[in-house]
Chain A
Amino acid sequence: MSGWLLPRDRDPVGRTDRPIRITVDGEPVTGIEGQSVAGMLLAAGRTSWRTTRSGAPRGVFCGIGACFDCLLTVNDVPDVRACRRPAADGDEVRTQSREETA
């Protein structure tokens, strides 16, 4: 199992959900307005979307913009921290790699 978004009908805060849709490397991912890109990816079951110099996978670590582990490309702008960026309907997201080709 992986992450999820608590369903609205089970959430005691009584929220209103406005569905949005983004694409990640061309694949559709759904979520709700107000979520960060990182939150949407986690809730969609992804734990990583970046590779390091050695090729190791990384996703969210600190969740508040300090670690830069969650970088990805949003609408052609690279190195956006997924945990700090609110997702917008129609965003085109691409995963990133810092992998060094020997």
Chain B
Amino acid sequence: MNVVIVGAGPAGLAAAEHALRAGARVTVLDQAETPGGQYHRMLPEVYAARRPDRIQHGRAEFDRRRRVLAHPRCRWWPGSTVWAFDRAEKRVHVLRGPSDGSGRRRLTLVPDALILATGAHDRTLPFPGWELPGVYTAGAAQALAKGERVAIGGRVLVAGAGPFLLPVAESLLGVGAEVVAVLEANPASTVRKGWSSRPWRLAAHAGKAGELVRYAATLARHRVPYLMGRAVIEARGADRVREVVTAKLRADWSVVPGTERTYEVDAVCVGHGFSPQPELAVAAGCVLDDGFVRVDTVQQTTVDGVFAAGEITGIGGAITAAAEGAVAGRAAAGGTPDAALLRARDRARTFAERLAVAHPIGPAWRSWLREDTIVCRCEETTYGELTRATEDESCPGPHALKLGTRAGLGPCQGRICGPTVAELCGGAERHHRPIVQPIRLGELAARIEGEPE
């Protein structure tokens, strides 16, 4: 069996390990230069860090996990972007070389089984001023601090929903930024309800609980307030963010009038959970539910021979991603995942369900929007334009809506605004992008090379 795995995050690496154990030949590729994905983010090798463990939690586990890439039956391709999947011939199209370069090598692979482990990116709900320079996703702050040691600003506010805000704040403190506050939009009652019903089911994630306690201690040591039921509802500044307005929220995320507070900042980072990156799964013809790739008990998608694992099947953190990857790897290699692997995966999924209940997105977030608030960052489509187009009976349907307002038609192809536009306009999100990742015309015209040995 030849198994190709797209993505070398926790899901992809676990998949490789278990596919190898089941006897397959494995190719792992990732567009990044280093393995690890978003969770095990590595410093550039040229930094020659002597103590990388000081910022990379679970470093020992990662070192063990990445060793699979050196296995004799494993081929590791860093700097390799899968830009298309040919459904009829089951052909994986790859570009190797510097990101967005012009002279990358074009190659194709025809695997017996394909495992998609392409992960997710931050979801950020729009608010007035979120397009100003100096407003970042929480993940951007994390990627720059942890992956390069760059601080996005001197005085930073961290806001949004979910436990991910805590490691982000920790990383910012670690590169010398002042974190003025961390705001969780959900009130304490919502968070408590999600996490503490049937707490014994969390026993498997005792490690996670310890991690949270450590973050809390770090915030306390730096006197960073952690406030629940509060959110950023506006960013202000002419050329870049200078101040942010926060407000107290009710459980449905409607603003409690008169509770506004202004912070002077030079950066703000906001994350409201994550959006999956299912483009390749869509290209392969896999069915999605609510944006996530549908999988069966052994992580097979609705397409024979195509498996999916990690955040593209549901948001549940690195442990869940790895547990799913293990099952997918075994099954894709033609093996039968044993009961222990399946049990570990199911337990991890319970954690994911809890996460979703404890940190939901409240429907009344729309009340932050104004007529002129930008929703699609690329095409600068405003909330007003979108609502007018939705009410216009001469152009019904999501397609006409897109053409009429250009929402989702810019360079990012709706990756950022897609879920928001779908929610605001009551339509399903359209993930179909014929080209998964951008390719230059010159590269497209180049002769395709077959699979190299």
A interface vs B, CB < 8 Å? 1-6, 10-18, 32-36, 38-39, 42-43, 47-48, 52-54, 56-69, 71, 77, 79-81, 83-86
Are A34 and B239 in contact, with the CB atoms below 8 A?
no
Considering the chains assembled together, what is the distance between the CA atoms of A66 and B118 in angstroms?
Answer: 12
Are A61 and B380 in contact, with the CB atoms below 8 A?
no
**At the interface, is chain B mostly helix, strand, loop or mixed?**
loop
Query: How distant is A36 from chain B, measured CB to nearest CB, in Å?
Result: 7
17 additional contacts (CB under 8 A) given A14-B50, A61-B135: A1-B155, A2-B153, A4-B154, A4-B176, A13-B55, A15-B47, A16-B48, A34-B46, A60-B144, A62-B137, A63-B137, A63-B140, A66-B121, A68-B410, A77-B101, A80-B101, A86-B44
Are A57 and B412 in contact, with the CB atoms below 8 A?
no
Closest chain B residue to A7 by CB distance?
A: B176
Considering the chains assembled together, what is the distance between the CA atoms of A12 and B48 in angstroms?
Answer: 13
Are B49 and A62 in contact, with the CB atoms below 8 A?
no
Contact status of A15 and B49, CB under 8 A, knowing A56-B131, A57-B239: yes
* Complex partner residue of B150 from A14, A15, A43, A71, CB under 8 angstroms: A43
Are B100 and A84 in contact, with the CB atoms below 8 A?
yes
Residues of B near A18 (CB, < 8 A) are 46
Residues of B near A61 (CB, < 8 A) are 135-137, 140, 377, 416
Considering the chains assembled together, what is the distance between the CA atoms of A71 and B240 in angstroms?
Answer: 17
Considering the chains assembled together, what is the distance between the CA atoms of A18 and B43 in angstroms?
Answer: 14
Are A66 and B412 in contact, with the CB atoms below 8 A?
yes
Closest chain A residue to B50 by CB distance?
A: A14
Closest chain A residue to B122 by CB distance?
A: A62
Are A13 and B47 in contact, with the CB atoms below 8 A?
yes
Contact status of A14 and B153, CB under 8 A, knowing A35-B148, A48-B240: no
Closest chain A residue to B378 by CB distance?
A: A68
Are B377 and A69 in contact, with the CB atoms below 8 A?
yes
Can you spell out 20 A-B residue pairs with CB atoms less than 8 angstroms apart? A1-B266, A2-B153, A2-B266, A4-B150, A5-B149, A6-B150, A11-B149, A12-B54, A34-B47, A38-B144, A42-B144, A42-B150, A47-B134, A47-B240, A63-B141, A63-B143, A79-B100, A80-B101, A83-B143, A84-B31
Residues of A near B427 (CB, < 8 A) are none
Are B379 and A67 in contact, with the CB atoms below 8 A?
no
Residues of A near B121 (CB, < 8 A) are 62, 64, 66
Considering the chains assembled together, what is the distance between the CA atoms of A63 and B143 in angstroms?
Answer: 7
Are A1 and B48 in contact, with the CB atoms below 8 A?
no
Query: How distant is B268 from chain A, measured CB to nearest CB, in Å?
Result: 12
Query: How distant is B324 from chain A, measured CB to nearest CB, in Å?
Result: 21
Are B44 and A68 in contact, with the CB atoms below 8 A?
no
Considering the chains assembled together, what is the distance between the CA atoms of A43 and B383 in angstroms?
Answer: 33
Residues of A near B155 (CB, < 8 A) are 1
Are A58 and B133 in contact, with the CB atoms below 8 A?
yes
* Complex partner residue of A13 from B49, B154, B415, CB under 8 angstroms: B49
Query: How distant is A50 from chain B, measured CB to nearest CB, in Å?
Result: 9
Query: How distant is A66 from chain B, measured CB to nearest CB, in Å?
Result: 4
B283 contacts the other chain (Cβ, under 8 Å)? no
Contact status of A85 and B133, CB under 8 A, knowing A4-B176, A13-B47, A14-B51: no
Query: How distant is A47 from chain B, measured CB to nearest CB, in Å?
Result: 4
* Complex partner residue of B175 from A6, A38, A62, CB under 8 angstroms: A6
Are B48 and A4 in contact, with the CB atoms below 8 A?
no
B98 contacts the other chain (Cβ, under 8 Å)? yes
Closest chain A residue to B101 by CB distance?
A: A77
Within 8 A of A (CB), among B228-273: 239-240, 266-267
Are B136 and A71 in contact, with the CB atoms below 8 A?
no
Residues of A near B48 (CB, < 8 A) are 15-16
B152 contacts the other chain (Cβ, under 8 Å)? yes
Are B140 and A60 in contact, with the CB atoms below 8 A?
yes
Encode contact with A along B138-162: 1 for CB under 8 Å, 0 otherwise: 0111111000111111110000000
Query: How distant is A72 from chain B, measured CB to nearest CB, in Å?
Result: 10
Query: How distant is A56 from chain B, measured CB to nearest CB, in Å?
Result: 7
Are B240 and A85 in contact, with the CB atoms below 8 A?
no
B277 contacts the other chain (Cβ, under 8 Å)? yes
Within 8 A of A (CB), among B202-218: none
Residues of A near B101 (CB, < 8 A) are 77, 80
Residues of B near A11 (CB, < 8 A) are 149
Are B378 and A3 in contact, with the CB atoms below 8 A?
no
